[in-house]
Chain A
């Protein structure tokens, strides 16, 4: 009974159950995949499309994701509105990441005049794949911890392993992103199919229960 009434556990379980549909994986995976394809396309066509893709993707995909959530998830497992606590935690993580990004940008900006920044910049460039891999794995783990979605740890580990491999093997950067994106998208679809099978649409009387209550 004590285990069942552990509030934090119940909160995590509730959050996880709402994201077991794999939709978040599909959309994040497509984002990474398109980003990778954009970089590859840029090397072939010499056109900076990869700047356009990350910029317009959220504007297009977030409404589609919300709509998919309403059409696929809600009719099957119902609707839940989470409190502001979770959103605040997520916002804190995003602000932290923005500060980190700004710090990195400053290092690159000052690198022409400051000695320490220049050496840090050179260190980042010479170990780019390792640093990006560690950063991506850390960000993924941070989101996994904040959101309680354990599969994000696996995505982080996959990113780390691939990018560490990339430090020693000379393969265009875009291929790594395409691989990671594909794995995430495929896993998302597997989760979605499993979710649809596990929670079929309520039929007949079952669908009318809410009205009688």
Chain B
């Protein structure tokens, strides 16, 4: 590439005069140009979600459970692979030590929070290095994008096709977690337990600890328990924490944020008869601190057509108090065991939910069982849930378009099959299909948003394959 510049000569000067008369009204004739180098970039990546699994225990044995979970959301969204290994040491005096190691690998796309629209939408976010996309000049008729200030953080952009839920494809993370638990009898009717956990990923760290006490009453027919759990989370989003309800931008944002959670559970487990065990739990918890999704947006739309005008970062309250009441029953009917449970939930964000679940374990042979299960869940929306905000209206203090805070119902249908392959070893496979249904076309939708699907909930499939065995 060669750069030329000197003083204007004949043709150019004449052309300048001719052009000036073509645009009789233009009053500018100075320019300042200098070449500069180009950069390079990679995309950012947002938040993570955590599936879970559980452990078994047998007196006097050491049990190892190794499983791998595959989780896939429909529509090319989140995909996770999660290997889990847990080891439970059951001491001869009733003490139990468990260690669980988890590694999560998440990829895919996650809804960025903006509402779908009939035309292509472009989103801009911070990114580092490689191939700066600036506005380009070209002979090919392409015009490209993004003009940048002189910092290392540059803009990257992605688009959402017309009528398609905007997804952020920069979603990729790996999470590692360690959970430790120890429980021991302190007398013939009282059991004490402690636990601790650490989970870390690129932009989020969580530290937790728990303490619990359980006491058997009435000849061990009744057990009452109480537990307290504390959690401390640090969120350090890629390129900083945005100021809630400010415009999406490629600028570097604010400092790390933290959250503390304290949760208490009171429970009663009652042997109703030889074949029936019932449990009631009441839980109350309080979370304080940063609970906003730092990557999630909310569209601000034009009040008549519904066209996107700008995109703001979402905002959630700093405090959330949750309560729930759970009732569970385990009933043995000959060769089958039925688990039936219900849960009521309420939180200070205005979400009320109901859960009903039933699972039926049927022994086919002494070595093979199947366990179909069904779960129904329904929740009301958080009081600050909005599909979008309307331009020109006063900004609320809090707003989020996260479907998890919206009104929806969800059903899970699944089947677990277990096969005893040795005296203490079992191979199991569990498959689940999860489906959320929500308000795709709310009656209040504005203009052309009436015809867009505003519900961004998920359909997901998960499969767990595991092997558990115990030894002396």
Q: Are these two chains actual partners, yes or no?
A: no
Which B residues are closer than 8 A to A by beta carbons? Answer: none
Which A residues are closer than 8 A to B by beta carbons? Answer: none
